[in-house]
Amino acid sequence: MNLSIPSQFDFLPRFIRLGSINIFSNLTVPLAGIISVAFLGHLPDIDPLVGVALGAVIFTCLYAILSFLRMATTGVTAQAVGRDDQQAVLLVGLRNALIALGLGILILMLQYPIRELSFDLLNGAPEVKAAGVEYFNARIWGVPAVLLNFVLIGWFLGREQSGKVLVMTLIGNATLVVQNYFYIIKWGLGSAGAGLSETVSQYIILFIGLLFFFSQIDWKLVKEVAGQVLDWSSLKSTFSLNGNIFISILSIVSTFAVFQNLSSGMGTIVFAQNALMIQLILFTFYFTEGLGFAVETLAGNFKGKAETHKLFNLVTVAMLTSLVVGLTFAFLSIFFPEYVFGILTNHAELIEDIDDYNLWLLLVLGFGSIAFMLDGYFLGLAEGTTLRNISLGSLILGFVPLAVVSDHFDSNQLLWLALAVFYATRLIMFLTQIPRTLKGDIEDGAVAPVIVAGESQPLPMMFKTDGEGGTASPVLVEEESQV
């Protein structure tokens, strides 16, 4: 009996390995967040819980927007690994780290106007806003670490080193839970304690990531590429890709921000119920994002090796897997709402009527899980323009019209319909673009140029044989390799 994997699916072991590690790594983030919410949710006063939910909207939006730093790092790094271009691998990390550090410092300098403007835009009772401000003031100092972590994680993922990301997130989020217990439960710091624990944990993650980074780089290579880090042609290409991804993410974040803001205007109970459901959606998306990371790495690697014929099977397997994940969590929330949402809070008034809305999770998680994974596919191909156009189109055509109607009628049902249509529109637009990529017709400017001797030029493919059948394959950089 021949148990070997067909050649067209020879990527499956890598997909399963990367996807499993990425999912496990990703799950530590929402699990830590859920535990933090549970600590707050079991306090006698509900204001810290709702205040943190309000303040978290700001950081969710901010970090989601700035996560283009990770997204713009992984795919291009994977393509450079596919070409076995070690200089390009290192330069991607260094250039994006420079951008991350600059943005982090700028945000710290502008923290006061960001805070005042953000809370002016968000609806909430005075005591809820006060708790949210305390949370903001403590968490904002972690911004530089978060942005540098985005780059480090993207760089490790692009090199198929998910194990390093897993270690970073496990240690960082374990310390987050411990800190939340002491700050919130033992020392009674409330929302400020929740924000402080986030800040400290991010610097712990950064420290571990830098240890990994410095332990594997070749310092001779660093000297060779030092003069190319600020090369204008490559920086321009990097900024272009980052800019398109930024607009794409901004469109998605704007959708959730408007959703949360409209929810907050429908009363504290509705806002808290929607916040619990959003937590479940984000938890599910952490699963599909883990698959998306694997797709992002492999799609970029296949493109770097000029093996676009493997993309169809890759995207098919990933879409089916993501759909199963999304529907599983949707059905769990529909049939076992007391158990699922009871983990997050013991306030019965929040769970009693949540059945009125959680059926929408079937559509949101069904459409959204596939669309979320397809983000990773196009990120791996570094198609920033495609992502930008789809995100803007989904926001303008899919979400805004129904959101306006929901606000007019003060209807939470219509608001959830608007979110479901948003993801349905994204999915349809993605599906129309996939055939083009399977033919090898990749958008112009999708790959940042590699700079050699100060000139922008494509590098030839660099392959080695496997020593047995002479099959050509690029050199993959793994744990023991040095860049």
* Closest to 382 in 3D by CA, of 135, 9, 72, 140: 72
What pLDDT was estimated at residue 10?
A: 76
Q: Which helix (H) or strand (E) holds 94?
A: helix 86-109
For residues 347-373, give the mean pLDDT: 84
List the structure tokens of 428. 């349809």
Query: Does residue 69 lie within any of the structural domains?
Result: yes
Query: Which secondary structure element, helix H or strand E, spans residue 400, and what is its range?
Result: helix 400-409
Number of Cβ within a 10 Å radius of residue 334: 15
For residue 463, tell me if it sits in a domain: no
Percent of the chain with pLDDT over 70: 85
Residue keyed to tokens 């089916």: 320
For residue 275 the two structure tokens come to 């916040």
- How many CB atoms neighbour CB 380 within 10 A? 30
Question: To which H or E segment does residue 66 belong?
Answer: helix 47-66
Q: pTM of the full predicted structure?
A: 0.77
Asked if residue 462 belongs to a domain, the reply is no
Angle at CA of residue 472, ends 470 and 476, nearest 5°: 125
Between 381 and 47, whose confidence is greater? 381
Cβ pair 244, 72 in contact under 8 A: no
Q: What backbone phi and psi angles, to 5 degrees, belong to 453?
A: 55, 35
Q: Is the pLDDT of residue 475 over 60?
A: no
The DSSP line for 205-240 is HHHHHHHHHHHH--HHHHHHHGGGTT-HHHHHHHHH
The answer to whether residue 361 scores a pLDDT higher than 50 is yes
d(CA 457, CA 451): 6
Position 244 scores a pLDDT of 93
Crossing angle of helices 143-158 and 268-304, rounded to 10°: 40
Structure-model confidence comparison of residues 432 and 454, the more confident one: 432
pLDDT at 185: 83
What Rg, from alpha-carbon coordinates, does the chain have?
22
58 belongs to a structural domain:
yes
- Confirm whether 397 is domain-assigned: yes
Report helix, strand or coil for 352.
coil
Phi, psi of 472 (to 5 degrees): -85, 135
Q: How far apart are CA 58 and CA 52, in angstroms?
A: 10
Structural domain contains residue 473: no
Q: What is the mean pLDDT of residues 96-102?
A: 94
C-alpha–C-alpha distance, residues 173 and 187, integer Å: 20
Least confident residue range of 12-21, 298-307, 433-442: 433-442
The answer on pLDDT for 138 being more than 80 is yes
Residue 109 has pLDDT above 90, yes or no: yes
What is the 8-class DSSP label of residue 5?
A: P
Q: Which two tokens stand for residue 99?
A: 């951008």
The larger pLDDT score, comparing residue 123 to residue 295, is at 295
Q: How does residue 288 score in pLDDT terms, banded at 50, 70 and 90?
A: confident
**148 in Cβ contact with 97 (< 8 Å):** yes
Domains: count for the chain: 1
Pick from 101, 81, 106, 82: nearest CA to 91: 81
pLDDT given for residue 30 in this prediction: 58
Q: In Å, how far are 103, 193, 201, 308 from 175, measured between CA atoms?
A: 26, 13, 6, 42
Q: What is the pLDDT of residue 131?
A: 87
289: containing domain: 10-454
* Cα separation, 436 vs 440, whole angstroms: 7
Instruction: State pLDDT tens for residues 186-219.
Output: 887 888 888 999 999 999 999 999 999 998 888 8
Residue 470 binned pLDDT confidence (cut-offs 50, 70, 90):
very low
Please, are residues 354 and 273 in contact by the beta-carbon 8 Å criterion? yes
Assess if residue 468 is contained within a domain: no
Residues paired with residue 451 on neighbouring β-strands, in sequence order: 456
- Per-residue confidence (pLDDT) for residue 157, from 0 to 100: 93
Looking at the chain, the whole-number percentage of residues with pLDDT higher than 90 is 43
Please report the pLDDT score of residue 19 as a whole number: 87
Q: How confident is the model at residue 284 (pLDDT cuts 50, 70, 90)?
A: confident
pLDDT tens-digit series, residues 299-310 = 999 988 888 888
Q: What is the DSSP string of 426-460?
A: HHHHHHHHHHHHHTT-PPTT-SPPPEETTEE-PPP
Collapsing DSSP states into helix, strand and coil, what is residue 306?
Answer: coil
Residue 93's SS3 state is: helix
Query: How crowded is residue 358: how many other Cβ atoms within 10 Å of its Cβ?
Result: 21
State which H helix or E strand residue 397 sits in. none
Q: Do residues 18 and 160 touch, judged by C-beta distance below 8 A?
A: yes
Position 402 in a domain: yes
